[in-house]
Amino acid sequence: MKKQNYILSKFFVVLMFFLVGCNTSTPTPEIVTVVQTVVVTEIAEVVSTVEVTREVLITQIIERPVTITPSPTPINSPTPSDTPTITPTSTNTPTPTNTLTPTSTPNFAQTATIEAFGVLAAPKKDGFYTVGVEILPGKWHSTGTGDSCYWARLDGNQKTLGNHFGSAGGTVNIRETDYEVEFNDCGTWEYVENAEKVLLSSATEPKGDGFYTVGVEIVAGKWQSTGTGDSCYWARLDENQKTLGNNLGSAGGTVTIRETDYEVEFNDCGTWKYLGP
């Protein structure tokens, strides 16, 4: 009788759990499993019944995740195939236009307007002249006489780039890069950069002290000094006043002037006579 009461009490307990389970969202298959387990243990020992109780507790633990609202099972979406890489069709590269070849910097002396040329190329007296503003770059020839002529080419810091002190009548070649020039006691300066070389009829006549432009005022060839003394000086110069050959000493010697020389300077050598080519 005691055994029957014990089984009924256990059955009552199981039935209560079954009724409680009906009020939850526990899936039906899990409740049926519990009932089947109880039926099997009717002939089990007390120890087996205790194990059943443990199994019911495990069922309660399982109920917790069941009460959570399940998320909808996603519908399997097809795996996208590899998207092909589209290689853009290259457009035709336009043919570059030919870059115009830059023209060379024009010669200021030759391209100046008539009005500017007239002002900048007008004869100059003593004084300072800003290159490109008050005086043209190029060759300028002194028409003065005497032996105290001074000229100087200067940069923007008044540094001397080239100068001369001595006989008048020579030439100075002013560069476009010069800032200004100074003239003093040289007479009048005339612009001769574009002047055509024409041999004067007096080019073979005897020459005294001074500067002479080769091919214009003096002919190329052999010239002999007829003077005396030991302070005779002569020099052959190029168009930039660079000395090509010179001598300081006794008068009476000979100098051979080349056609490639630009000018010559004679000083304290007496008279120079032309001996021929």
Q: What is the pLDDT of residues 160-169, one digit of tens each?
A: 999 999 889 9
pLDDT score for 214: 95
How many angstroms separate the CA atoms of 123 and 144, rounded? 12
Neighbouring C-alpha atoms within 13 Å toward the C-beta of 99: 2
How many angstroms separate the CA atoms of 87 and 207, rounded? 88
Tell which wins on pLDDT, 125 or 35. 125
Do 250 and 230 contact (CB within 8 A), yes or no?
Answer: yes
pLDDT above 70 (res 124): yes
pLDDT score for 112: 44
Look at residues 254, 266, 270 and name the one whose alpha carbon lies nearest to residue 167.
Answer: 266
Q: Other CB atoms closer than 10 Å to residue 89's CB: what's the count?
A: 5
Task: Report in angstroms the alpha-carbon separations of 231 from 69, 127, 245, 256, 266.
Answer: 127, 31, 17, 19, 11
Q: Strand 254-257 relative to strand 127-130: parallel, antiparallel, unpaired?
A: unpaired
The strands making up 127-130's β-sheet, listed across from edge to edge, are 127-130, 180-184, 149-154, 160-166
pLDDT above 90 (res 31): no
pLDDT-derived band at 12 (thresholds 50, 70, 90) equals low
How many angstroms separate the CA atoms of 144 and 92, rounded? 72
pLDDT score for 113: 46
Do 154 and 169 contact (CB within 8 A), yes or no?
Answer: no
pLDDT-derived band at 39 (thresholds 50, 70, 90) equals very low
Q: What is the pTM of this model?
A: 0.55
